[in-house]
């Protein structure tokens, strides 16, 4: 659970070999991503890098509300549809 939401986490690391960026020792950058499968969103992202430090992004006060009724997205039957397709562009004109 992350901030009251069920989440699945993944951690990965990237090693920067010695000398790649002027470093004498290997540098290890790590990242964690915690995702809510229900919301299809990352809930928490944490990255740690010896050069830039640690950064954490959290979503707070997440409220999961019931699904919205599908009828709210149905176009009423008394709506008139007008086709406003423009004529195709025929290229440029040479003005002299």
Residues whose CB falls within 8 Å of the CB of residue 21, separated by 6 or more in sequence, listed in order: 27, 51
**23-38 per-position pLDDT tens digit:** 889 999 999 999 999 8
Write down the pLDDT at residue 75.
85
The domain segmentation of the chain, as residue ranges, is 8-62
Write down the pLDDT at residue 51.
86
Q: How confident is the model at residue 92 (pLDDT cuts 50, 70, 90)?
A: low
Output the pTM of the full model. 0.61
Structure tokens at 94: 């040479």
Number of residues that this document lists for the chain: 96
Q: How far is CA 23 from CA 13, 15, 20, 30, in A?
A: 17, 12, 7, 17
Among 17-26, 38-47, 54-63, 87-96, the minimum mean pLDDT is found in 87-96
């Amino acid at each position: 659970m992350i901030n009251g939401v069920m989440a699945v986490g993944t951690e990965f690391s990237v090693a920067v070999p010695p000398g790649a960026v002027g470093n004498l020792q290997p540098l290890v950058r790590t990242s964690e991503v915690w995702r809510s499968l229900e919301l299809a969103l990352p809930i928490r992202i944490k990255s740690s890098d010896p050069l830039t430090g640690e950064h954490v992004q959290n979503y707070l006060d997440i409220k999961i509300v019931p699904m919205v009724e599908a009828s709210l997205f149905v176009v009423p039957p008394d709506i008139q549809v007008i086709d406003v397709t423009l004529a195709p562009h025929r290229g440029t004109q040479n003005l002299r």
